[in-house]
Amino acid sequence: MSQNAKPLIKKDVVIIGAGASGLMCAREAGERNRSVLVLEHMNRTGKKIRISGGGRCNFTNIHLQPDQYLSDNPYFCKSALARFTPRDFIGMAEHHGIAYGEKEEGQMFCQRSSGDIVKMLDEECRNAGVKILLNCRVGSITKTGHFSIATNSGRIETGALVIATGGLSYPELGATDLGFRIAQKFGLRVTRLRPALVPLLFSRRDLHAFKGLSGISFDAVVRCKGIQFRGKVLFTHQGMSGPAILQISSYWDCGDEISIDLMPGMDSYALLTGMQKSRMELSNLFSAYLPRRFCQQWCAVNAPSRPVCQYTEKELREIAHKIHHWTIRFERTAGYAQAEVTAGGIDTSELSSRTMESKKVPGLFFAGEVIDIAGQLGGYNLQWAWSSGFAAGQYA
């Protein structure tokens, strides 16, 4: 990249990425009187923060536990999460007068707009003396003592380089694989990347059967590989979404079978046998508990509907089993364009869990989604961004 004779910029700390983890890291490093420069290739800071939580930013979860994170090393996240907690972030929000409230299950949302969180982080960075360079495209990075970064704004040198570039989700907001390429350039391993918290798409057969149900939702328990979540499932034009499906998608791999309990907490066999002499159609019976159109289509595929009295006891037992164990083999996910987070990333064995620094490249730090840590739905991923950014900022 041509430098156009622009002057050399020297900083104690350079952070690539002005998202949640990058801004938190910058604020913390600046508070330590380090000269900090944040490089952002987009035209504004915090683009993913702005759309999170439907524009109201589910910024943390007060019921957070480390086992709500998916990683090849489930213990890695514990140190950072313990040192900058949900209560710590809430305290920062309160200091800035941000109105917030608990929506459900510990999920904390802004009452006004997610822009309040971005404004807070920008202000914290300004107060800490942090400089943010927008529309800055990063080219080659080399290290001979210091890191030398080629950009369209000139060459930049630093002793501490923090990669806070995020994952691959939401490419329309500027997501790229830059962070993973930088890690690999310096010899760090990157685990398998895949979309997570993402809708799942039907096979051709199931799409033909259920494509007319788009928009229908109901409460269910969704299971895969011994993991289960209870919540809403939602039919889409191509497959299924909703909180329970998004949660299980992080654990699903192509070819895995997903089981759905359509009537959690109920004994559908007792319900059926109690109506064994009834002439009520099976789909009408289930329609008292589930959306009518879904019941009609589900019965058409799994148990052709007729009056309940016309089924044998064995058939009723099989139908009851299917109600609580409806199995689907989804064909694929909806991809990074609809994924809320990227699973996989920088191998945690390459990093210090206390400092987020590379074990083999002194001065090279990572924070946020670029690391192999993916949280469940409900504010966990933003809290990981705050906590890992804080940890890196204390040592960069």
Give residue 4's pLDDT: 53
* pLDDT, average across residues 44-49: 96
* pLDDT, average across residues 34-50: 97
The whole-model pTM stands at 0.95
Residue 35 Cα distances to 12, 13, 244, angstroms: 5, 6, 44
322 pLDDT higher than 60: yes
Spell out the domains of the chain, with CATH numbers in brackets: 9-194+342-395 (3.50.50.60), 200-333 (2.40.30.10)
Long-range pairs for 80-86: beta carbons < 8 A, 24 or more residues apart:
80/353, 80/354, 80/356, 80/384, 80/387, 80/388, 80/390, 80/391, 81/383, 81/384, 81/387, 83/387, 83/390, 83/391, 84/386, 84/387, 84/390, 84/391, 85/387, 86/60, 86/61, 86/62, 86/379, 86/383
Q: Provide the token pair at 129.
A: 């003396």
Q: Name the band, by pLDDT with cuts 50, 70 and 90, for residue 326.
A: very high
The Cα–Cα gap between 48 and 342 comes to 13
The chain-wide mean pLDDT, for the chain, equals 96
- Determine how β-strand 326-328 pairs with β-strand 258-261: antiparallel
Q: Based on DSSP, count helices (H) and strands (E) in the chain, helices before strands.
A: 13, 21
- Give DSSP secondary structure letters for 257-292: -EEEESSTT--HHHHHHHTTT---BHHHHHTTTS-H
1 pLDDT higher than 60: no
Residues 6+ apart with CB under 8 A from 293: 212, 213, 216
Give residue 348's pLDDT: 98
Give residue 104's pLDDT: 87
Asked whether the beta carbons of 286 and 295 are under 8 A apart, the reply is yes
Give residue 305's pLDDT: 86
The Cα–Cα gap between 13 and 198 comes to 34
Handedness of CA 348, 352, 353, 355 (dihedral sign): negative
212 pLDDT higher than 60: yes
Handedness of CA 306, 308, 312, 315 (dihedral sign): positive
Q: Provide the token pair at 95.
A: 């200091």
Q: Provide the token pair at 74.
A: 């489930």
* pLDDT, average across residues 316-343: 97
DSSP annotation of 309? G
The Cα–Cα gap between 123 and 46 comes to 13
| Residue found by looking up tokens 């109901």 in the block | 218
Q: Name the band, by pLDDT with cuts 50, 70 and 90, for residue 378.
A: very high
Instruction: Please write the tens of the pLDDT for every residue from 284-306.
Output: 999 999 999 999 999 999 998 89
Instruction: Please write the tens of the pLDDT for every residue from 85-103.
Output: 999 999 999 999 999 999 9
117 pLDDT higher than 90: yes
3-class secondary-structure state, position 258: strand
| Residue found by looking up tokens 């096979």 in the block | 203
Q: Provide the token pair at 84.
A: 């900058």
* Cα angle 34, 163, 359; round to 5: 90
Instruction: Please write the tens of the pLDDT for every residue from 65-85.
Output: 999 999 999 999 999 999 999
Q: Which of 26-30, 51-55, 259-263, 289-293 has the lowest mean pLDDT?
A: 51-55
Asked whether the beta carbons of 221 and 229 are under 8 A apart, the reply is yes
The Cα–Cα gap between 158 and 276 comes to 76
* Cα angle 200, 342, 381; round to 5: 105
* pLDDT, average across residues 271-287: 94
59 pLDDT higher than 50: yes
Instruction: Please write the tens of the pLDDT for every residue from 127-142.
Output: 999 999 999 999 999 9
State what percent of residues in the chain have pLDDT above 70. 99
The Cα–Cα gap between 47 and 114 comes to 10
